[in-house]
Amino acid sequence: MTNIDAAEGARVYDLDRSYVFHSWSAQKALKPMCIAGAEGSYFWDYDGNKFLDFSSQLVNVNIGHQHPKVVAAIVEQAGKLATVAPQHANDKRGEAAQRIVELSGGKAEKVFFTNGGADAIENAIRMARLHTHKHKILSAYRSYHGNTGSAIVATGDPRRWPNEYSAQQVHFFGPYLYRSEFWATTPEQETERALTHLEHVIQFEGPGTVGAVLLESVIGTAGVLVPPPGYLEGVRALCDKYEIVMILDETMSGFGRTGKWFAYQNWNVEPDLVVFAKGSNSGYVPVGGVIISKEIAATFDERVFPGGLTYSGHPLAAASIVGSIDAMKEEKIIENAASIGENVLGPGLRALADKHPVIGEVRGLGVFWALDLVTNRETREPLAPYGGTSQAMTDLVTACKTRGLMPFVNFNRMHVVPPCVVTEAEAREGLEILDQAFGDIDSYYQG
């Protein structure tokens, strides 16, 4: 560990609390952790407290902290061409786009680069509306798509409520068998009934008004909801039937998180537009983008696309994507994520569920897992209310941190989302800490 210096930590803290305005927070009570350094699957503070990063920060540090090949790619590019206006071509932007299109396959032809996932969603929605000449966007209630105008209204969680200023957006229920809205008892029933529900929404909204269906391939912040067999293929069929653009949001699930380059590649489906962002370079430099199908790209061959960003395809961001993709291929990081999920995390988390009754359901793929926590397995009463937290969840987070593990929690869920480079030993270390932490809150179970 480097930079261990309590006095410097105090200075960093004072600077933050004096001058920094934090997102998603009431400012007065904040006590942010001051990070001194990071490497691989770990980070540490100025007091020398080291944490196994089972959050991947915001589920994006796929290649791990401070990967030398990605850092080197950024440094090399900074020495060559640090910035350039987006109307000019630069080598790394073209190379990054080529790699992303080749990894996407299927319908993909072009990439429009943005600064992050939210503005990628904004531009994907704009493309769909202009391509179809239809204005409504359908998205799921359990979803998160970012905190800009249309992206936050497309979002299905409570962060949407104080931000509903964008128009012409409609929500529907997606599949979630553990808490089925459709009284389903099997994955097949859940798929059939969820698709029937979606088709009815399309019909009642008017197929001639619906420009796009926007979905996370695997829903992330809202609970790592893996779609049941046939669901994404069924959405694709509905989009084809009613001439609707299918947009898949891979901001969180892309670039190895599910053990595939893109999560939708776990199924037999080809979207029209794919949104990507922080996973493409582990967030080393802000970046995002839209992967555009040949058909939609052709819409703008002779027609001006009315959108752009000063930092679109920024050379440092593009170089970091190239460095990250190349390192992932060379080091078989995607394969590692798939193996860790299948052989360590999946079995290990299911064993924890057998031991700790507060774990109602285990679900996930690759290094993308969630535990649905309950006070009663029969009623499936959540361990924290929708849109809120509880003393049990607070105690669980504290129990993890005091043992050196940084968790990712949301409402009544514990998300288990280490970097794609996590080793078997690190994954087992995390599972052992989780076992101890759940032992501390087993008393909250009331079933």
Calculate mean pLDDT across residues 103-130. 97
pLDDT at 263 over 90: yes
Residue 349 has which token pair?
Answer: 């988390």
Based on the fold, state whether residues 295 and 240 are members of the same structural domain. Answer: yes
Based on the fold, state whether residues 87 and 146 are members of the same structural domain. Answer: yes
- Please report, for the domain that includes residue 27, its CATH number: 3.90.1150.10
Tell me if 1 is assigned to some domain. no
Residue 404 has which token pair?
Answer: 């050196």
Number of domains forming the structure of the chain: 2
Based on the fold, state whether residues 219 and 154 are members of the same structural domain. Answer: yes
Tell me if 305 is assigned to some domain. yes
Based on the fold, state whether residues 47 and 147 are members of the same structural domain. Answer: no
Based on the fold, state whether residues 403 and 342 are members of the same structural domain. Answer: yes
Domain-ending residue, one of 303, 330, 357: 330
**With 0-12 CB in 10 A as exposed, 13-18 as middle and 19+ as buried, what is 181?**
middle
- Tens digit of pLDDT for each residue in 18-52? 999 999 999 999 999 999 999 999 999 999 999 99
- Note down the domain range covering 155: 68-330
User: Strand locations in 259-329, DSSP E?
Assistant: 273-276, 288-293
Question: Tokens 């947009």 label which residue?
Answer: 247
Helix (H) or strand (E) holding 63: none
Based on the fold, state whether residues 418 and 383 are members of the same structural domain. Answer: yes
Tell me if 391 is assigned to some domain. yes
Domain-ending residue, one of 330, 349, 377: 330
Query: Chain-centre distance of CA 159, in angstroms?
Result: 16
Tell me if 364 is assigned to some domain. yes
Determine the pLDDT at residue 447: 82
Question: Tokens 């061409």 label which residue?
Answer: 81
Calculate mean pLDDT across residues 226-248. 98
Contact 400, 434 (CB under 8 A): yes
Contact 361, 180 (CB under 8 A): no
- Please report, for the domain that includes residue 305, its CATH number: 3.40.640.10
pTM: 0.97
- Tens digit of pLDDT for each residue in 62-73? 999 999 999 999
Of all residues in the chain, the percent with pLDDT exceeding 90 is 99
| Distance between start and end Cα atoms, the chain | 44
